[in-house]
Amino acid sequence: MSTPPIDAIALEHPLGRARLAGVQRGARGLARRPGMVIGSAILLALLVCGLAPGLVAPYDPYQQDLTQRFLGPSTEHLFGTDDFGRDIFSRVVFGTRISLLTAFAVVSASLVLGGIVGTLAGYRGGWIDELLMRVCDMFMAFPSILLPLIVVVVLGPSLVNTAIALAVRGWAPFARLMRGQVLSVKQNAYVDAARALGAGHWRIVRRYIWPNSVAPFIALAAIDMGFVILTAAGLGFLGLGAQPPTPEWGVMVAAGLQAFLISEWYAFFAGLTIAVAVLAFSLLGDELQDWLDPRA
């Protein structure tokens, strides 16, 4: 007679069944939230466009046909065509990959850097905490668009420099949040018990502090994704982000505004896509924040 797997034995235990039931109830409750459903549906559509734009877009986003300039929406061109006769829908779809990759790279870098700085400040305390938080305050004192604007002007306009500029500004809120979480978690009795048993600093942080501090980061990361998409599009609109003919949403809005009196569709659909993407991440962030809050 074969021995059942350990996971199956754990689920047969009353405590294991209770945990599984709690996870299932939480998942069902999350699925019943309208904001979560709408945000997840939009995000799924964005992911499909970002991961496989060639399967969604009917045309090459760089293909020009000057005989098809400024056509309105139709069955052949869902969003019309731009000033070079390129299909706007295809350019919006391929722009999804650029925006999502930029946002993911910036948020990941901000989360890692901010998490390390916040952990060090909250766990060590003293003059290290004071120094790191004053540096954090200095970065957060700049308006959200001003510091990235300065960095891009210094480094030069490009998509890579836009991501670097946004990460320079984006790590500070994560550091602040992690510091507060570490200060709260390290006061618990189980941390003192682990320290009394001889656990090292790295083990305490890895096994006890980080797992109990990560929940708010999920919500903040989701909200920050929308902010990065919006700011990157703003830099592209100003000519300091991605450069033409890259199918980036901000660049498309800027080009569409120059020809707005001839064809209003170009700027409208690119701007609408930015608004929908930011809305999706805002809804997800708000719902995750409420769901992960133990007081809710």
In-domain check, residue 1: no
For residue 274, is pLDDT > 50? yes
Give the chain's length.
296
Quick one: pLDDT band at residue 293, thresholds 50, 70, 90?
low
In-domain check, residue 77: yes
In-domain check, residue 63: no
Quick one: pLDDT band at residue 101, thresholds 50, 70, 90?
very high
pLDDT of residue 26: 53
Query: What tokens does 140 get?
Result: 């957060």
In-domain check, residue 91: yes
Quick one: pLDDT band at residue 18, thresholds 50, 70, 90?
very low
For residue 264, is pLDDT > 70? yes
Quick one: pLDDT band at residue 294, thresholds 50, 70, 90?
low
Residues facing residue 87 across a β-bridge: 81
Query: What tokens does 26 get?
Result: 């939480």
Give, in degrees to the nearest 5, the angle at Cα 210 between 25 and 180. Answer: 95
The pLDDT of 283-295, averaged and rounded, is 76
pLDDT of residue 58: 92
Q: What is the pLDDT of residues 129-156, one digit of tens each?
A: 899 999 998 888 888 788 888 888 888 8
Question: What is the DSSP secondary structure assignment for residue 101, as one 8-state letter?
Answer: H
Residue with tokens 């919500």: 219
Question: What is the DSSP secondary structure assignment for residue 71, as one 8-state letter?
Answer: P
In-domain check, residue 3: no
Task: Compute CA distances 285 → 18, 39, 144, 288, whole Å.
Answer: 27, 9, 19, 5
Give residue 148's domain range: 14-58+68-292
Q: 98-107, 138-147, 197-206, 286-295: which range is least confident on average?
A: 286-295
Q: 65-79, 158-172, 188-202, 247-261: which range is least confident on average?
A: 188-202
Question: What is the DSSP secondary structure assignment for residue 74, as one 8-state letter?
Answer: -
**Residue 116 or 294, more confident:** 116
pLDDT of residue 6: 42
Number of domains comprising the chain: 1
In the chain, the percentage of residues whose pLDDT exceeds 90 is 41
Say if residue 245 is preceded by a cis peptide, omega within 30 of 0: yes
Distance (Å, rounded) from C-alpha 259 to C-alpha 63? 19
Question: What is the DSSP secondary structure assignment for residue 241, as one 8-state letter?
Answer: S
Give me the chain's average pLDDT, please.
84
Q: What is the pLDDT of residues 22-68, one digit of tens each?
A: 455 555 555 567 888 888 899 999 999 999 998 999 999 999 988 88
Q: What CATH number should be reported for the domain holding residue 175? A: 1.10.3720.10
Residue 31 identity (one-letter amino acid): A
Residue with tokens 């909250």: 122
In-domain check, residue 52: yes
Which residues neighbour 156 within 8 Å (Cβ) at sequence distance 6 or greater? none
Quick one: pLDDT band at residue 94, thresholds 50, 70, 90?
very high
The pLDDT of 7-23, averaged and rounded, is 46
Query: What tokens does 218 get?
Result: 């999920």
Asked if 122 contacts 182 with a C-beta cutoff of 8 angstroms, the reply is yes
What values do phi and psi take at 87, rounded to 5?
Answer: -70, 120
Distance (Å, rounded) from C-alpha 213 to C-alpha 133? 18
